[in-house]
Amino acid sequence: MSSLLPSARPTDAQDELLRRFVEAARRAQIVTIVNRAQTVKELGELVTAELCEAFEAEVAIVLAGWDDGPLFVVGSYGLRSEEAERITRQDLLDPAAETPQRAEGFDLLSVGARALICAPFGGRPVRGVVGVARFYDQSFDEAEAALLEAVAASIGHAVERLRLTEEREQLYRDAHERGKAARVIGSIADGVLLVDDARIVRLWNPAAEAITGLSRDVVLGRLLEEAIPAWSAIAESLVVANDPASSCVRATTVPVEIAGRELWLSIRGVGFADGTVYAFHDLTEAHRLEQLKADFIATVSHELRTPLAAVHGAAKTLQRDDVVVGGEVFERLLTVISEQSDRLAAMVNNILLASRVDSPELEVGTERVEVAALTADVLAAVRALANEGLTLELVAPPSLPPVAGDREKLRQVLTNLVANAAKYSPAGGRIQVELKPHDGALDIFVRDEGLGIAKAEQSLIFEKFYRADANMTRGVSGSGLGLYISRELVKRMGGTISVESLPGEGSTFVVTLPLATPAS
């Protein structure tokens, strides 16, 4: 570093005035540099270079330490970094010294220096020492000691000021990063759960709240196994990876009972130094559908097998050479074949219809439909197949406005509802269809006195493949598609369908359809 200032070592001892002037200027220059530095590192680099210039020395070093911690190199000039590091481990200065100390020798600082001066600075929280050394035989005088003492004090203040600034900036950066991370965690769709070493929940994001229904107030700060007791049972089956980037962060799908509900969660865990973070998403719906599909395949196979066996048996009997099938038996066997193949066809049609009923390609017409006549037809058709202990009746005002809809699709809906009413009334009873117009719409009530439907299942029975509790419907055949098809068809006709039921007392299904406008 170049300096425009004259030498700090006046050769003329008489010229005290000049000497003082030079030293004041040197001091001002060093203080300016000290104050200009933006970081502790920059301070170290600038000030040591300037110290060598000002003291006509070859080596300068500034060491500092926070509180009682070890000293580190703020900056050095004329030393290799390992030499500077080694000096941090030497006692440069008597720890009790409060004023600059000077030394002369042949190998000072173990770098061959001949003259050394060290000045302490600070106390708490920052303390340190500034050292300047010459390789030539010229010891430091009193004036230089005074200059170094003053310079050391301002370096001490600067180190402390810069350290605070750096700490503040680091805190700001950390807070900013944390804020960013919190925003990301807050907005992702996966539930995120973080537990510390003691398994206390430290983070529970909004998705975790939404998936589990447990608010952060009841989870945060509590033992995980206490907040979610079912976690103890699944903890062992979860794979917790140690490296988030590793490909072995495998998700495990497990059922977890939370607040009385069974959720199927796909959970990944990653361990880190202070705890574990789990990310999870909800597969309950997907799992339920899988289950329903599996049940559907099982019931449908069963349902198809019964009529198939009847058709097969009747055909085989007709084919036998050894048995002469008489007229009446012959007719009965043909009726079995015809009725059972109708049943098979209806079932296959239902399955096909269910697969496209929610697609826009399915055509649903809008015509004027006389519902009373249509219902009478449906009741007659079901009555023919229903068991004897059932009474079927139609209750309707003498004249009714027509509804706007698709006649054949509505026939299918009503057949479904009335056939269900018959199917789920194994002990017989009354089935009543009541038609009631009101406010531009027609309500069609289909009532039975059968098994009824549990409250929890009333919203589920309209789902594809859903069949209510097997115990209740045991022995009653079905595929779980009828109400799904009915709901979709009614929706397409601009209407609604709902159910009210008391288990053991019966059910009432209500279809509401818009009335046809006079012109339509």
The binding site for ligand ADP (CB under 6 A) comprises 420-421, 424, 448, 450-453, 461, 466-468, 473, 478-484, 507
d(CA 37, CA 145): 24
Residue 465 CB, nearest distance to ligand ADP (Å)?
Answer: 8
d(CA 334, CA 313): 11
* C-alpha to C-alpha distances, 509 to 15, 360, 377, 505, nearest whole angstrom: 116, 26, 19, 14
d(CA 22, CA 290): 90
> Would you say 115 or 378 has its CB closer to ligand ADP?
378
Give residue number: closest CB to ligand ADP.
478
Residue 468 CB, nearest distance to ligand ADP (Å)?
Answer: 3
Backbone angles phi, psi at 407, to 5 degrees: -55, -50
Residue 393 CB, nearest distance to ligand ADP (Å)?
Answer: 16
> Would you say 59 or 461 has its CB closer to ligand ADP?
461
Residue 410 CB, nearest distance to ligand ADP (Å)?
Answer: 16
> Would you say 473 or 496 has its CB closer to ligand ADP?
473
> Would you say 277 or 446 has its CB closer to ligand ADP?
446
Contact 63, 71 (CB under 8 A): yes
> Would you say 27 or 409 has its CB closer to ligand ADP?
409
CA dihedral 132, 138, 143, 144 (to 10 degrees): -10
d(CA 299, CA 441): 37
CB atoms within 10 A of CB 273: 5
Residue 489 CB, nearest distance to ligand ADP (Å)?
Answer: 12
> Would you say 159 or 300 has its CB closer to ligand ADP?
300
What DSSP line would sit under 154-217, residue for residue?
A: HHHHHHHHHHHHHHHHHHHHHHHHHHHHHHHHHH-SSEEEEEETT-BEEEE-HHHHHHH---HH
d(CA 515, CA 11): 118
Residue 424 CB, nearest distance to ligand ADP (Å)?
Answer: 3
d(CA 44, CA 62): 7
Given the structure tokens 């006195």, which residue do they identify?
A: 449
> Would you say 164 or 502 has its CB closer to ligand ADP?
502
Half-sphere exposure for 6 (CA within 13 Å, toward CB): 10
> Would you say 147 or 422 has its CB closer to ligand ADP?
422
> Would you say 145 or 472 has its CB closer to ligand ADP?
472
Residue 451 CB, nearest distance to ligand ADP (Å)?
Answer: 5
> Would you say 103 or 413 has its CB closer to ligand ADP?
413
Per-state percent for the chain, helix, strand, coil, to nearest 5: 45, 25, 30
Burial grade of 506 (CB within 10 A; 0-12, 13-18, 19 or more): buried
> Would you say 299 or 341 has its CB closer to ligand ADP?
299
What DSSP line would sit under 72-137, residue for residue?
A: EEEEEESS-HHHHHHHHHS--S-TT--S-EEEEEEEETTTTEEEEEEEEEE-SSEEEEEEEEESSS
Q: Residue 492 in 3-state DSSP?
A: helix
d(CA 289, CA 286): 5
Residue 411 CB, nearest distance to ligand ADP (Å)?
Answer: 16
SS3 of 287-318: HHHHHHHHHHHHHHHHHHHHHHHHHHHHHHHH
> Would you say 307 or 452 has its CB closer to ligand ADP?
452
Residue 275 CB, nearest distance to ligand ADP (Å)?
Answer: 47
Residue 365 CB, nearest distance to ligand ADP (Å)?
Answer: 23
**Among 172, 162, 205, 163, which residue's Cα sits nearest to residue 187?**
205
Strand-pair partners of 508: 447, 500
Residue 414 CB, nearest distance to ligand ADP (Å)?
Answer: 13
Residue 360 CB, nearest distance to ligand ADP (Å)?
Answer: 22
Burial grade of 194 (CB within 10 A; 0-12, 13-18, 19 or more): buried
CB atoms within 10 A of CB 204: 25
**Among 280, 214, 294, which residue's Cα sits nearest to residue 251?**
280
Helix axes 327-356, 482-492, angle to 10 degrees: 60
Residue 506 CB, nearest distance to ligand ADP (Å)?
Answer: 7
